[in-house]
Structure 1
Amino acid sequence: MKNIIGSTAGLEEGGKGLRFDVLNSDGEKIPAFVIHFDYQYFAYLNRCGHIAVQLDYMPGEFFSDDGRSLICATHGAEYAPDSGACLGGPCFGVGLEPLSIVIHEGEIVLEQSGYTVA
């Protein structure tokens, strides 16, 4: 199966995310991540809605201290883990770009048109 991002094993609820890269249709390599939240898995491009910087302050560290929101370590913008919507801060209503994924036999698979796993 192509476009496998990785395994769901080790992705704890509200814990460290899984970083990976995607290639867009122009061949540009873009950082992305998957998180486990509310018993589901969600994937986003790793770009703040404020300025296109990566969110995590340490590799895979995306969640706020209480595990209820995603935080941009650079500017403090907050995002909803289950939708990527801007919750506050300098994202000014601009959310994260979600990526379509499915879970197949414990593997996270990218299903987003226009992107492939790098």
Structure 2
Amino acid sequence: CSQMTGQLDSLDREIQTHVSRCAADARKLKDELEKKEHHMSTVEKEAEEFLKNSEEGLQAALRETDEETQMCARELLKLIDSIAEYKEFVEQSTAEMKKDLYECVDDIASLSVKIV
């Protein structure tokens, strides 16, 4: 009976040692899992922040591009208006010069008739 008690005590100690080792392994795995979870959470937050900043940057770039496009369009319209005004001025000046030239030709023609 005492031999059996000794074996039971020895077996009990082995079981307790094994339980302690399993508990330590479980704590170690839990700690590693919590570290990985924290790391993943940090990476996720950084990714969300990066995405948010990228989207804001894209929106700012789109607004800036739109403003530049509108500014260029306004400048182009001003240039077209300016060209149209200049064309009108040149046509008007040409018409006046032709009129003056015809009047001059008529004056010269009338002078030559008076001289003869």
TM-score, scaled relative to structure 1: 0.10
Higher Rg: 2
Bigger fraction of residues in helix: 2
Bigger fraction of residues in strand: 1
